[in-house]
A = this chain, B = another copy of it.
Amino acid sequence: MPSPQKHTEALGRVLELVVVLSDDMTRSLAAQGLTNARAHLLWELHRRGPSTQRVLADALRVSPRNITGLVDALVATGFVTREPHPTDRRATLVSFTEHGAAVTAAMEHDQHEFARILFADMPDDRFAALVDGLDDLLARLRAHGVSIDASREATDPESEAGR
């Protein structure tokens, strides 16, 4: 079992990874006229298909009021549309425009591509060790009370990351 010093350094690596990746995500999104929150909404919409704002609010774990604002912005920038719900006249259905669908598909593609490039020439054993280590880490985090406090299925949050 490693020394405390090493422990802190390792955590430092993890945190650095956090910073590097999230910065890069934000930059990539901005290049497409998106912000983190809006891309996140798009992503969820992609996973679920046309959804009510309530559903999106639960999925993104933000207040319904906030969803209104995000959808407003995405409508204004032509990524999604708001349509009346066919059976519930209180609700509105949020759906992709063609543009929104295309951009989201591109984001997904970029994510796969980025993963491919990232791990492309990594030897099998090293790759397996890394994945196992990450899983272990995740398990340990949850075991020590660090968890995504409930719900939320394994959601890869934004997307995007490619250079």
Q: Do B11 and A111 touch (CB < 8 A)? A: yes
Q: A106 contacts the other chain (Cβ, under 8 Å)?
A: no
Please tell me which one of the listed residues B119, B132, B163 contacts residue A126 in the complex, with CB atoms under 8 A apart.
Answer: B132
A17 sits at the interface (CB 8 A): yes
Residues of chain B with a CB closer than 8 A to A146's CB? 20-21, 24, 161, 163
State the main secondary structure of chain A at its contact with B. helix
Contact across chains for B1 and A122 when beta carbons are under 8 A apart: yes
How many residues on chain A are close to B (CB under 8 Å)?
62
- Check A2 against B122 for contact (C-beta < 8 Å): yes
A1 touches B120 (CB 8 A): yes
Interface string of A128-163 (1 = CB under 8 A from B): 111111111110110011111000001111100101
Residue of B nearest to A142 (CB): B20
- In the complex, A131 Cα to B154 Cα: how many Å? 24
Most buried by B among A6, A133, A154: A133
Q: A104: shortest Cβ distance to chain B, in Å? A: 16
Binding site for B on A (CB under 8 A): 1-2, 4, 6-24, 111-112, 114-124, 126-138, 140-141, 144-148, 154-158, 161, 163
Across chains A and B, which 6 residue pairs bring their CB atoms closest together, nearest first? A130-B133, A145-B163, A7-B115, A129-B129, A11-B115, A13-B134
